[in-house]
Amino acid sequence: MSKIIFNEHQQRVLEANPNVASVSDRAIQYTPEFKIHALKDNLAGKGPAQIFIENGFDLTVIGSKKATSSLNRGGRRIERMEKMASLKSVVEKAVPAAPPPKISQRRKSWRKRNHALNTWKQKMSC
């Protein structure tokens, strides 16, 4: 959690920025569009401070560490998502999908459930 505590005036200034979804006394939530835009700019070679200044943030208010840490967090999320996607594709290739159950199997299991439910209802009504 951040050591910076935003006062009410700073919170109002931050909320006025179109790239901010919400602000609390310690945290800023950015819009999804800004997150994507900032990560693309960062991958293109722009620094965190430059990205935040160009998008209307005052680094004296939010702190330069907040800009850097938010982009690092987003980059780590992307890396995790890429790893999960690659693992999923490996698993899908290695393990073929099971065929859907036959209709007769579905009917049998449905009949068993209904029978169990009816038996339970009869026991409860006695």
Give tens-digit pLDDT for 105-126: 667 777 888 888 888 878 777 6
pLDDT at 106: 67
Tell me the pLDDT of the chain averaged across its residues. Answer: 84
Q: Does the pLDDT at position 1 exceed 60? A: no
pTM assigned to the model: 0.61
> What is the DSSP annotation of 12-67?
HHHHHSTTEEEE-SS-EEE-HHHHHHHHHHHHTT--HHHHHHHTT--HHHH-HHHH
Q: Does residue 2 contact residue 27 with C-beta atoms inside 8 Å? A: yes
Lowest mean pLDDT among 21-30, 82-91, 92-101: 92-101
pLDDT tier, 21 (very low <50, low <70, confident <90, very high otherwise)? very high
pLDDT tens, residue by residue, 30-70:
998 998 889 888 888 899 999 999 999 999 989 888 888 88
Residue 20 pLDDT exceeds 90: yes
